[in-house]
Structure 1
Amino acid sequence: MKIGAHVSTSGGIENAIDRGMEIGCEAIQIFGSSPQSWLFKKISVEKLDVFKSRAKKTGLGPIFLHCIYLINLGNPDPVKVDKGIGSLVNYMELAAGIEAEGIIFHPGSHKGVGFDAILDQTVSSILSVLEDSPNGPFLIIENTAGMGHHIGSEFSEIGRIINRVGSPRVKVCLDTQHTFAAGYDIGSKNGLERAMEEFDREIGLERLVAIHANDSKYKLGAGVDRHENIGEGYIGKRGFENIMSYDAFREVPFFLEVPGFEGNGPDRKNIDILKEIRDQMP
């Protein structure tokens, strides 16, 4: 089990390696572009080579890309759906260029029409991305908290998408805060067991390739996507002890997306808390 975090690429993608090392990361997640913009600038081969060289030298990995927040494969506007597909393809190409494991994305919102109404369109869009992308990286669906009609807060919805797509290249990232906000009590041992039994039944634990380790600012089932530092939220440190000791998670990398104890994003203190929990596991 490797402990990592989402780190900034400010000043160049290659700088993410150093930033990860500075706070004690063993693996990292990064954006490939501004998360609130459709604009995507291709990165030079030279910069990609520097990134890969630094990653290899430090042993930092695995590496994941997190996609932009504008993607909504269930959008009723076909122009925006096409933009989302194009953005995912760009990210898949970048992932191949830096030898990342894959790209993590939020599937989007049904905007009130219901999941069933946008299922076909979502599946078709994912198939288009896979067809136009390099074979190496995984296309990874992240579960959601359920805010704003977002799809993927229920494991059954993700499972239905994956089963329809029918590709081994589609994987899943489990966000602890989103899971908790969606009503799965993963902070308790019994709640975690029940949640993961459902995950395995609906999706398959073999699809799980990354965990976003975030405490929750709001109570169980609140349906609100708000992350908190480890031990300062409603999941709590004890909850993360239960989560990290779960057998199926032992080989899965954990990535922090927390506000940080000084408000500057994931930091060494949060990473050290997770490492301490890991190191005390039997």
Structure 2
Amino acid sequence: MRIGAHVSTAGGLDKAVDRAAELGAETLQCFCSSPQGWAFKPIPEEQAAAFRHKAQAAGVRPAFLHGVYLVNLGTPNQDNLRKGIDSLTNYMRVASAIGAAGVIFHGGSHKGAGYDGIFLQTVNALKEVLAGSPQEVWLIIENSAGMGNHIGSRFQEIGRIMDAVADSRVKVCLDTQHTFAAGYELTSPEGLEKTIAEFEHEIGLANLVAVHANDSKVPFGSGVDRHENLGRGHIGEEGFLTIMRHPAFHDVPFLLEVPGFDNKGPDKQNMETLRRLRAEAGLAG
């Protein structure tokens, strides 16, 4: 099990590798543009090469890009749908250029239309993204907490989309906080086993390629997306030990997206907690 974190790219995309190495991260996630806007500038080849070389030298792998927050493939606004498709396609191309495994993105919201109301639009949008993307890069759906009208909080919803897209490049990232808030039990061995069984049935464990390791600021089943530092939330250290000990996760990279103790994102304290928990779970890096 490799452990890492979401890191900043301020100063250049390759700076993400430097920051990951400073944290002692073995894997990383980052943006390649502002997550709050549509603006996108192609990454110069020199910068992509610097990222690849630094990552190889530091042994940081795999790398993931996270799509911008504005992407919503369920939107009724066709202009924003087009921007979302183009944004994901651009990110997939950058992922290929820097040697990243794939692009993790949020499914978005149906805006009151209901899951079935936006199902075909979402499927067709994903097919278009994949048609314009390099073959070796994964397009990775992140499960949601079920907040508002967000889709993808139930494994069945994600599985149906994957079945309809029918492309092996579509994978899944499981966010522990989102999963917990959506009402899937993670903290007891019995409850976790049921959650894993449902994931296997609806999505398939072979399609799980990343875990966002986040504690929860809100109680179980709250349906609210609120991350907390490891061990300081409702999942707790014992809950994470239960998760990490399960064989389903042993070969899956764990990435921190916690607020940090200085509210600047993943930090050394959270990374050391994750490293200690991995050791207590009896796992190697």
Residue in 2 aligned with 1:52?
52
Shift of 1:49: 0.8
For 2:217 and 2:189, how far apart are their aligned partners in 1?
Answer: 20
Q: Spell out, residue by residue over 1:181-208, the C-alpha distance to the aligned partner (whole angstroms, 9 max, x if none).
A: 0011112211111111101100001000
Residue in 2 aligned with 1:184?
184
Shift of 1:43: 1.2
For 2:219 and 2:188, how far apart are their aligned partners in 1?
Answer: 13
Letter in structure 2 aligned against 1:46: E
Residue in 1 aligned with 2:205?
205
Letter in structure 2 aligned against 1:106: H
Residue aligned with 1:103, SS: strand
Q: How does 1:123-138 map to 2 (within 5 A)?
A: 123-138=123-138
Residue in 2 aligned with 1:7?
7
Residue aligned with 1:64, SS: strand
Shift of 1:262: 2.1
Shift of 1:68: 0.2
Residue aligned with 2:148, SS: helix
Letter in structure 1 aligned against 2:275: K
For 2:69 and 2:261, how far apart are their aligned partners in 1?
Answer: 24
For 2:32 and 2:147, how far apart are their aligned partners in 1?
Answer: 25
Give the count of matched residue pairs. Answer: 282
Shift of 1:59: 0.8
Letter in structure 2 aligned against 1:276: R
CA contact (8 A) 2:227 2:258 kept: yes
Is residue 2:84 matched to residue 1:91?
no
Letter in structure 2 aligned against 1:123: V
Percentage of pairs with the same residue: 56
Residue in 2 aligned with 1:251?
251
Q: How does 1:1-282 map to 2 (within 5 A)?
A: 1-282=1-282
For 2:255 and 2:52, how far apart are their aligned partners in 1?
Answer: 20
Gap regions ≥5 residues in structure 2: none
Shift of 1:234: 0.2
CA contact (8 A) 2:241 2:280 kept: no
Gap regions ≥5 residues in structure 1: none
For 1:47 and 1:75, how far apart are their aligned partners in 2?
Answer: 33
Letter in structure 1 aligned against 2:199: F
Letter in structure 1 aligned against 2:266: P
For 2:146 and 2:281, how far apart are their aligned partners in 1?
Answer: 32
Q: Spell out, residue by residue over 1:201-224, the C-alpha distance to the aligned partner (whole angstroms, 9 max, x if none).
A: 000010000000000000001111
For 2:168 and 2:149, how far apart are their aligned partners in 1?
Answer: 27
| Runs of 4+ displaced beyond 2 Å | none
CA contact (8 A) 2:73 2:122 kept: yes
Q: Spell out, residue by residue over 1:205-251, the C-alpha distance to the aligned partner (whole angstroms, 9 max, x if none).
A: 10000000000000001111000000000000000000011101000
CA contact (8 A) 2:35 2:69 kept: yes
Q: State the TM-score, normalized to the length of structure 2.
A: 0.98
RMSD: 0.7
Q: Spell out, residue by residue over 1:35-55, the C-alpha distance to the aligned partner (whole angstroms, 9 max, x if none).
A: 000000111101111111111
Q: Spell out, residue by residue over 1:92-145, the C-alpha distance to the aligned partner (whole angstroms, 9 max, x if none).
A: 000000010000000111111210111001000000001111111100000000
Q: State the TM-score, normalized to the length of structure 1.
A: 0.99
